[in-house]
Structure formats: C-alpha cells, structure tokens
Amino acid sequence: MLEIKNLCVSMDNKTLLTDINLVIKDGARHRLAGRNGSGKSTLVNTIAGDDSYTIDSGKIIFDGIDITKENATSRALRGIFISTQNVPEIPGLTMLSFLKHSMVAHNHFNTGKDLSMGEFLEKLESVREQLEIPKDWLNRYVNVGFSGGERKRIMLLRLLLTQPKFAILDEPDSGADKNVQKQIIDTINKMPNTTFLFISHQDAFSSAINITQTTTLSDGKIMIQ
C-alpha cells in the first residue's frame, strides 16, 4: 500500500528526517513509535502532503503510484486520510457542508459521477446513527466548541463516510475517555479494507487494534530492530 524510499525531509533548512525507508503492506495495522520530537508527526504529515515540509530527496509510492510531488488534496482523493491531534477550527462552515463537499469530491474522483444530496444524506444518516452522533452536531461549525472526545467521534464519522484506502491516525486515543476509545477501537476493527498507520503511546490501545508491525523513530531516523 505504501512504500517510502530514502526519504529526507527538512523545514527551514533544518533536517528533520534522514534516509527513511518503510514498507506498509495492504491491510496492515502499523504503529509508529518513538519519543516526542523523534520525527513521527513530521513523517505522517509528509506522507499526507503537508507543504510545510520540504522533501529534499527520496520517494513516496502509494498504491503503486509515485505521489512525491502531489499536493495534499490529490493525495486525499487517492485515498489517504489523516487525523491529527491539533485539528483546525473553521468558523462559518458547518459540519454538514464540510462533509458534503468532501463526499462529493471523493465520489467524483472515484466514479466520475456526481453524488446527489439524497445519496449523501442517506449515507450520512446511516453512519451518524451507527456512531450515535447527535444531529445538532451537523449544524455546528467545524471543530468549533467541540471537546477532545467529540472531535474524535467526528473523526470516526469522516473515516466511515470516506472509507479511505490508507488512514493515518496521530494519537487517536489522546483526549478520549474510555467509551470513546472503545468506539475508536471497534470502528477500526470493522474496517478490514483500510490500511492504518498509527501514532500511539498506549500499549493497551495498540494491542486492542491488533498492531501488525511497529516502526520506531529516533532523531529523525528509523531505529534498527
């Protein structure tokens, strides 16, 4: 699903990642470990196409396609989903509008067809009920006034609606109580067609989602294990 070859990344002329080589197989539950500042978030954000980082050398191959020079939107449409710890607030844009635009874009990219409002609302309602998300959340502005646990549940809503090929979850267990953590675990375990890359510091959480492999970073390099 994902192959990273000799990747070197910098920001403001400071090297952050050096000679990263990584293969993540289709259907994997891959954990990225390491101390704070080891380069974990830099790596996942680079995979997702964050242009704050500069790729100095190397390649990122996703699903057989070289996406090294593609932007974040293109990568998202190809099936790369990312959930970060510090999600932006977007005043003036409701969750309903945000989710509709996202679904329409993904559907058109994958099928070449437009998604009707009826089709969107039917799918949204099905997933909303599955996650027991209150209807009034859909009329609130994106992430404005949502607690940490509520933001995690919205992340699950996006995840189930888009059904990505590859999902990057940066500390999904952080800021979530036991009930929300269980909901995250249950949702992930019901998505066998999605490959996952996690950052998590909790061994119990990692065990519950049946981690298939762990890669450890230190000072921007992969540690030999």
Question: CA distances (Å), 144 to each of 66, 103, 197, in order?
Answer: 36, 21, 27
pLDDT at residue 100, as a whole number = 92
Q: Average the pLDDT over 22-27 and give the result.
A: 94
pLDDT at residue 225, as a whole number = 57
pTM of the predicted structure, to 2 decimals: 0.88
Beta-bridge partners for 196: 29, 167
Of the listed ranges 7-11, 33-37, 151-155, 202-206, the least confidently predicted one is: 202-206
Q: Average the pLDDT over 186-209 and give the result.
A: 86
Q: How confident is the model at residue 208 (pLDDT cuts 50, 70, 90)?
A: confident
Beta-bridge partners for 8: 57
All structural domains of the chain, each given as residue ranges with its CATH number in brackets, are: 2-222 (3.40.50.300)
- pLDDT at residue 205 is higher than 70: yes
pLDDT at residue 99, as a whole number = 92
pLDDT at residue 224, as a whole number = 67
Could you give the percent of the chain with pLDDT greater than 70? 99
Separation between Cα atoms, residue 167 and residue 30, nearest integer Å: 10
> Which of the given ranges, 34-38, 83-87, 162-166, 209-213, has the highest pLDDT on average?
162-166
Of the listed ranges 59-63, 77-81, 174-178, 193-197, the least confidently predicted one is: 174-178
Q: What is the dihedral of CA 43, 157, 26, 41, to 10 degrees?
A: 10
pLDDT at residue 17, as a whole number = 95
Q: How confident is the model at residue 83 (pLDDT cuts 50, 70, 90)?
A: confident
Q: Average the pLDDT over 63-91 and give the result.
A: 90
pLDDT at residue 16, as a whole number = 95
- Nearest Cα to 155, choosing from 96, 64, 87? 87
